[in-house]
Copies of this chain bind each other. A is one copy, B any other.
Amino acid sequence: MSSDTSDGLRERKRAAARATIERAAVELALEHGYDHVTVDMICEAGMVSQRTFFNYFGSKEGVILGQTPPLPTEEAADRFVNKPGSNVLGDFVAMIAGSVVGTEPDPQLFRARRMLIQRTPELFTKELARLGEMEDHFSRMVLARFHAAGRTSIAVPDLEDEARMVIALATGVMHHTLRKWFETDDPAEPQQLLGASIDLIRRITGDGPSTGTSE
């Protein structure tokens, strides 16, 4: 029953409350600094009880970090596995970037979050940790790509290690790219940053900028 954007008053209210609290929290943190804001302050500004706050977000960080970035779409994953480019790392990072960008509907809020995360070491750490949690999943994807390319764990005994290493490296790259991204003040195209990052990787890890195909 009812339209698509809202089924039920309940849902709508929940969403509204959530949004109100998030905005309040981000605004407060932007003004006073994350660790000078107490959960109680957020609750007052968001007009909910502390208990409700924790029901919604689970932790103080949770409200700033926002919901955990969604996994790449099946389609993107499939492309990564079956249509490999010249460079695992590049492809992987590009895929992740694609799934991270555009998560938050409100660009204003999105930027505010990024800003806070960048300037608050504690938050930056947590954000990285969150990415880290998906490591297992990702390394399985890389492994799938390897298999699709005909490489087997029998021919290459440490293929699993190699997959995990790809993820480890990619994490590093994302670390770097995220930092760069947060640094720029205008919403420059992430694509460009990514391109630069991948260039750097090539330069650092061997084949000259022109050599091209590897893996």
Q: 4 additional contacts, CB 8 Å, given A201-B205, A204-B215, A206-B207?
A: A161-B196, A165-B173, A168-B172, A172-B173
Closest to A176 in B: B168
A101-142 with Cβ < 8 A to chain B: 121, 125-126, 128-129, 132
Q: Is A23 in the interface zone, CB < 8 Å from B?
A: no
A172 closest partner in B (C-beta): B172
Q: Chain A: how many interface residues by the 8 Å CB criterion?
A: 37
Tally of this chain's copies: 2
The distance from the CB of A180 to the nearest CB of chain B, in whole angstroms, is 7
- Is A45 positioned at the interface, with any CB of B under 8 Å from its CB? no
**CB contact between A169 and one of B88, B173, B211 (< 8 Å): that residue:** B173
A197-215 contact mask (Cβ, 8 Å, vs B): 1 or 0: 1001111111100010011
Q: Closest approach, in angstroms, between the C-beta of A199 and any C-beta of chain B?
A: 9
Contacts of A121 in B (CB 8 A): 129
